[in-house]
């Protein structure tokens, strides 16, 4: 009898223990989350949610516990609970988007810090932001970032660069995983081949960052950060096509090499081979392209858990634009006009944390870029190689967070133009130091300086100061000031020097540009009682340039004149971003920028060419839970810009109108791991030819065979050429592509 009673007690205990547990569901915005991670803190008890977002945790001891729920890209939630014997508790979690105000950033200070703690304001954009308006490359994707504008520089080959706060592309430094390998030639042709499938996030710093990154980081920098293979999905695919005939495919693969390393591979393919001439000038409205890019990143597992990663990318593109009847047999001739560019490029980059007690990181990169191009009958053959190595030492002493570093950059450039009589090779060694001082809980001060030596320009010193006041957790004020410098490379920066018939004149030996900058940034977070969120961020800036090198189109309409400015240039303005997230499923992102960019020479102030006074951007998203449907309405607005006309008789407008590109997208996400999306781009069907008699000057005579000149070399007006023009495709400020529909599919296997 005693044995029977003992057996019943043991059985009862086992049954009650088995009934102790936690169950519930994990959702986000009303949609179930599959493969969300659920765990009990300080235990080995963990599980993942099923296809319906449901989970069950069991086989743990009763008592006080903390349950942690996490999902990539969403904000982790933690709840404290008390579990009694023979109790099953039901807990439901609704994870919210990880607010970018709380992201970890590295670009502002070369250290991984919470964005709210950084004394340097850094904007963060994740793949979810860019999916609201899917594009074939990162260059186009940036069109919905406030204060950032992709600028097309040629109506024929559609090359471009990225403007930040009104400063032209050469003032913007583009990094991949912190490495400055996108510069020179690749700013014109290489930005379009970075696979979107590998994008972890993009960090943007507006304003000079030369004290950390050297030349080119005068207007700001864009750091494209790729995914860590350990956190990437096993397989991802994203493909879409549009009604113009463009096709884009992004693929991502992840694998493990035993316990040694994890590998992430990305492939991007883009094709557009359907010539369209909607503005009836006998020239292609959009450049035809055939492009492939392959990227691979390795993360090696080291016993000491220190970082060692390497990545490589190969890129090939064949693009052409020109007269509609152009074929490759006309390449380089003067019978039918076409601009044909073959680009071949490969890159290598890596980071290795030294196996010592101190935190020291060696970063390196190398890129080789080969361009074989013709602009009508003018060949442009160029090679560029850039090598970069940097050693940094991160050291904390009391309230000082120190960073010491040394870098060396190798630059090789050669082309077949008269501006490069011999190849240009240059080694640029650098030293930099930074001290981030925690004065108190609310006050933080950053001091920094960089020294560079360039054989052509000598010693260059760039100091930096930043101050952060944390009024409270929801109100932060930042002040930044410093100097910057930039060394010019004319032919990789000024596409108009190669296309059209303008003659390039370099009047003097050019000195490096210098800038002096100050900006103030205010960030405010508002949380309402019903769980809604509003984020406000405003920045005002002022930058003063000396020795500015600004191409002069005005003195002689048939020339581009380069010289150091006999005066100064100024860019100033104010920018505001507003993020609003509502429990109803509505999310609003608004941005507005007002700026004044000008040069003053001999007492005369002139507004900078191709720079708008104001811009606006928006992204309005709403989730209809019952229909498993997301709706995204995105767009931008640009104020008038001064445009490069060809003299007093040119009938094209001197200023662009206020113009806008607007898009709408519908995403259906009922099926597991699959998203189906479709929409319309350029809803207003806006193109820059509206209101102008033509866009390309002398499109009927692209080789200027019928242009007549006077004894001074000036173009004469004739019955065949009443406006006294030469062929010029440089009158461009926006895309020529009109309204189009698109359809796409995404698949992700985690």
Residue 10 makes CB contacts below 8 A (sequence gap 6+) with none
Give the residue extent of every domain in the chain.
2-94, 108-225, 226-749
Which residue from 701, 610, 656 is spatially nearest to 281, judged by alpha carbons?
A: 701
Q: d(Cα 417, Cα 422) in Å, to the nearest integer?
A: 10
Q: For residue 100, what pLDDT is reported?
A: 63
Cβ–Cβ < 8 Å for 247, 518: no
Give the model's confidence band at 15: pLDDT under 50 very low, under 70 low, under 90 confident, else very high: very low
Structural Rg of the chain based on CA atoms: 28
Spatial distance between the Cα atoms of 618 and 338, rounded to a whole number of angstroms:
37
Cβ-proximal residues to 335 (8 Å cutoff; 6+ apart), any chain: none
Q: How confident is the model at residue 721 (pLDDT cuts 50, 70, 90)?
A: very high
10 pLDDT more than 70 = no
* Entry field: residues in the chain: 750
pLDDT given for residue 191 in this prediction: 64
* Residue with more model confidence, 50 or 394: 394
Which two three-digit tokens encode residue 263?
């590998």
CB 580 within 8 A of CB 592: no
Burial pattern 1-16, b for ≥16 Cβ within 10 A else e, equals eeeeeeeeeeeeeeee
Q: Which two tokens stand for residue 387?
A: 């090598």
Please state the separation of Cα 446 from the chain's center in Å: 26
- List the single range of 70-84, 506-520, 564-578, 660-674 with lowest mean pLDDT: 70-84
CA-closest candidate to residue 203, choices 329, 323, 106: 106
pLDDT score at 335: 95
Which residues, including other chains, have CB under 8 Å from residue 604's CB and lie 6 or more apart? none
Does 12 have pLDDT greater than 80? no
Q: What is the dihedral of CA 165, 166, 169, 171, to 10 degrees?
A: -70
- For residue 129, what pLDDT is reported? 92
175 neighbors 194 (Cβ within 8 angstroms): no
SS3 for 458-498, per residue?
EEEEEEEEEEEEEEECCEEEEEEEEEEEECCCHHHHCHHHC
CA distance 740 to 305: 49
Query: Which conformational region is residue 667 in: left (phi greater than 0), alpha (psi within -120 to 50 degrees), or beta?
Result: beta
Residue 626, exposed/middle/buried by CB under 10 A (0-12, 13-18, 19+)? exposed
What pLDDT is stored for residue 520 in this prediction? Answer: 97
- pLDDT over threshold 60, residue 729: yes
Cβ–Cβ < 8 Å for 104, 117: no
Mean pLDDT, residues 304-323 taken together: 94
**Per mean pLDDT, which of 92-101, 175-184, 264-273, 375-384 is the most reliable?**
264-273
Query: In this predicted structure, what is the pLDDT of residue 9?
Result: 54
Q: 419, 580, 601, 407: which is closest to 492 by C-alpha?
A: 419
Q: Which of 249, 254, 277, 274 is nearest to 264 (CA)?
A: 254
Confidence of residue 439 (pLDDT cuts 50, 70, 90): very high
Q: Show the DSSP H helices in 200-317 as ranges.
A: 210-213
Return the pLDDT at 106: 87
**pLDDT-above-90 percentage for the chain:** 54
Q: What local confidence, expressed as pLDDT, does residue 11 receive?
A: 47
At residue 144, φ and ψ (nearest 5 deg) are -100, 15
Q: 203 pLDDT exceeds 80?
A: yes
pLDDT band at 27 (very low <50, low <70, confident <90, very high): confident
How many percent of the chain have pLDDT more than 70? 91
First and final CA of the chain: distance in angstroms?
A: 55
What is the bridge-based pairing of β-strands 21-28 and 93-94?
A: parallel
DSSP 189-212: HTGGGS-GGGEEEEEEEES--HHH
226-749 topology per CATH: Maltoporin; Chain A (2.40.170)
Mean pLDDT lowest among 50-59, 341-350, 423-432: 50-59
CA distance 231 to 235: 12
Q: What is the mean pLDDT of residues 65-89?
A: 78
Give the pLDDT confidence score for residue 740 in this predicted structure: 97
CA distance 33 to 72: 11
Q: How many CB atoms lie within 10 A of CB 223?
A: 25
State the pLDDT at residue 187.
65
At residue 17, the pLDDT reads 45
pLDDT tier, 42 (very low <50, low <70, confident <90, very high otherwise): confident
Indicate the class that CATH gives domain 2-94.
Answer: mainly beta
The token pair that represents 322 in the structure block: 């020109």
Rounded alpha-carbon distances, angstroms, from residue 433 to 53, 135, 461, 706: 49, 39, 12, 60
**Nearest residue to 283 (alpha-carbon basis) of 699, 733, 687:** 699
pLDDT band at 679 (very low <50, low <70, confident <90, very high): very high
Separation between Cα atoms, residue 48 and residue 245, nearest integer Å: 42
CATH number belonging to domain 108-225? 2.170.130.10
40 touches 28 (CB < 8 A): no
Which residue bears the tokens 């189906």? 676
Is the per-residue pLDDT at 62 higher than 90?
A: no
d(CA 298, CA 565): 47
Under 8 Å between Cβ of 611 and 655: no
**Mean pLDDT computed over 649-660:** 95
Which pLDDT score, from 0 to 100, does residue 705 have? 93
- In the predicted model, what is the mean pLDDT of the chain? 87
Q: Which of 46-55, 376-385, 566-575 has the lowest mean pLDDT?
A: 46-55
pLDDT confidence bin for 493, thresholds 50/70/90: very low
Confidence tier at 154 by pLDDT (50, 70, 90):
confident
Q: Which two three-digit tokens encode residue 273?
A: 């081979």
Cα–Cα distance, 459 to 469 (Å, whole number): 34
541-577: pLDDT as tens digits:
999 998 887 777 667 766 777 788 889 999 999 999 9
**pLDDT at residue 5, as a whole number:** 56
Which pLDDT tens digit goes with each residue over 604-634?
999 988 899 999 999 999 999 889 999 999 9
Query: Are both 2-94 and 226-749 of the same fold?
Result: no
Which of 74-78, 172-176, 342-346 shows the lowest per-residue confidence on average (mean pLDDT)? 74-78
Decide if pLDDT at 522 tops 70. Answer: yes
User: What stretch of H or E contains 386?
Assistant: strand 378-397
Nearest to 618 by CA among 570, 580, 564: 580
Q: What's the CA gap between 114 and 101, in Å, rounded? A: 9
Q: Is the dihedral of CA 211, 576, 188, 545 positive or negative?
A: negative
Pairing of strands 533-546, 567-581: antiparallel
Q: Give me 559's structure tokens.
A: 């020339």
Tokens of 614: 């104001």
Look at the block and give the residue holding tokens 């803190």. Answer: 41
Residue 7 has pLDDT above 60, yes or no: no
Q: How far is CA 103 from the centre of its chain?
A: 16
Query: What's the whole-model pTM score?
Result: 0.86
Selected residue with higher pLDDT from 187 and 582? 582
Tell me whether strands 46-48 and 160-164 are parallel, antiparallel or unpaired: unpaired
Task: Give percent helix, percent strand, percent coil of the chain, each to the nearest 5.
Answer: 10, 55, 35
List own/partner pairs for 671-675 with CB under 8 A and 24 or more apart: 672/34, 672/51, 673/34, 673/747, 673/748, 673/749, 673/750, 674/745, 674/746, 674/747, 675/745, 675/746, 675/747
**Please, which residues bridge with residue 110 across strands?**
none
Cα dihedral angle (319, 324, 328, 330), rounded to 10 degrees? -130
pLDDT of residue 97: 64
């Amino acid at each position: 009898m005693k044995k029977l009673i003992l057996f019943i007690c043991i059985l009862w205990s086992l049954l009650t223990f088995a009934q102790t547990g936690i169950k519930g569901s994990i959702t986000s915005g009303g949609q179930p989350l599959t493969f969300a991670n659920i765990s009990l803190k300080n235990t080995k008890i963990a599980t993942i949610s099923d296809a319906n977002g449901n989970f069950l945790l069991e086989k743990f001891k009763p008592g006080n516990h903390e349950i942690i729920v996490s999902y990539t890209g969403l904000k982790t939630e933690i709840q404290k609970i008390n579990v009694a014997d023979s109790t099953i508790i039901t807990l439901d979690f609704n994870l919210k988007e990880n607010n970018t105000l709380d992201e970890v950033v590295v670009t502002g200070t070369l250290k991984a810090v919470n964005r709210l703690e950084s004394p340097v304001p850094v904007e963060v954009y994740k793949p979810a932001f860019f999916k609201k308006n899917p594009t074939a490359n990162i260059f186009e994707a940036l069109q919905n970032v406030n204060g950032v504008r992709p600028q097309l520089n040629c109506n024929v080959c559609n090359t471009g660069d990225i403007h930040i706060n009104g400063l032209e592309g050469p003032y913007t430094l583009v990094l991949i995983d912190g490495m400055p390998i996108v510069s020179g030639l690749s700013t014109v042709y290489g930005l379009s081949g970075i696979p979107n499938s590998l994008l972890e996030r993009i960090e943007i710093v507006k304003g000079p960052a030369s004290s950390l990154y050297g030349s080119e980081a005068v207007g700001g920098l864009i750091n494209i950060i790729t995914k860590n293979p350990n956190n990437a999905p096993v397989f991802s695919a994203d493909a879409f096509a549009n009604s113009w005939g463009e096709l884009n495919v992004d693929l991502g693969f992840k694998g493990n090499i035993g316990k040694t390393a994890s590998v992430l591979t990305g492939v991007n393919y883009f094709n557009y081979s359907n010539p369209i001439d909607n503005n009836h000038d006998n020239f292609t409205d959009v450049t035809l392209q055939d492009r492939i890019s392959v990227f691979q990143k390795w993360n090696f597992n080291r016993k000491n858990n220190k970082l060692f990663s390497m990545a490589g990318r190969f890129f090939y593109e064949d693009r052409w634009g020109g007269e509609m009847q152009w074929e490759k047999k006309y390449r380089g001739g003067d019978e039918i006009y076409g601009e044909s560019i073959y680009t071949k490029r490969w890159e290598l980059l890596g980071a290795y944390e030294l196996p010592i007690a101190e935190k020291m990181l060696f970063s390196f990169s190398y890129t080789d870029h080969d361009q074989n191009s013709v602009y009508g009958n003018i060949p442009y053959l160029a090679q560029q190689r850039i090598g970069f190595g940097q050693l940094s030492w991160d050291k904390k002493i009391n309230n000082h967070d120190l960073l010491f570093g040394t870098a060396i950059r190798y630059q090789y450039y050669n082309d077949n133009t008269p501006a490069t009589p011999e190849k240009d090779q240059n080694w640029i060694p650098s030293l930099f130091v930074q001290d981030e001082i925690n004065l108190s809980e609310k006050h933080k001060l950053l001091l920094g300086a960089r020294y560079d030596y360039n054989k052509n320009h000598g010693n260059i010193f760039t100091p930096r100061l930043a101050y952060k006041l944390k009024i409270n957790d929801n109100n932060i004020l930042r002040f930044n000031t410093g100097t910057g410098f930039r060394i010019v490379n004319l032919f990789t920066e000024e596409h108009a020097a190669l296309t059209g018939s303008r003659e390039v004149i370099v009047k003097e030996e050019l000195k490096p540009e210098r800038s002096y900058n100050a900006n103030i940034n205010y960030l405010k977070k508002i949380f309402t009682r019903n769980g809604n969120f509003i984020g406000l961020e405003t920045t005002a800036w002022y930058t003063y340039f000396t020795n500015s090198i600004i191409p002069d189109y005005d003195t002689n309409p048939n020339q581009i004149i380069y010289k150091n400015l006999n005066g100064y240039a100024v860019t100033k303005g104010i920018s505001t971003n507003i993020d609003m997230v509502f429990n109803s499923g509505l999310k609003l992102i608004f941005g507005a920028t007002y700026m004044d960019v000008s040069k003053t020479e001999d007492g005369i102030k002139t507004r900078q060419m191709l720079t708008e006074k104001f811009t606006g951007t928006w992204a309005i998203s709403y989730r209809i839970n019952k229909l498993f449907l997301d709706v995204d309405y995105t767009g931008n607005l640009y104020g008038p810009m001064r445009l490069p006309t060809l003299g007093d008789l040119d009938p094209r407008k001197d200023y662009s109108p206020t113009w806008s590109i607007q898009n709408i997208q519908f995403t259906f996400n009922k099926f597991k791991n699959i998203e189906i999306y479709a929409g319309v781009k350029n809803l207003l069907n806006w193109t820059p030819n509206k209101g102008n008699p033509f866009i390309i000057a002398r499109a009927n005579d692209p080789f200027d065979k019928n242009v007549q000149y006077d004894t001074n070399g000036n173009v004469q007006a004739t019955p065949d050429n009443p406006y006294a023009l030469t062929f010029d495709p440089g009158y461009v400020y926006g895309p020529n592509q009109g309204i189009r529909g698109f359809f796409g599919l995404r698949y992700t296997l985690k």
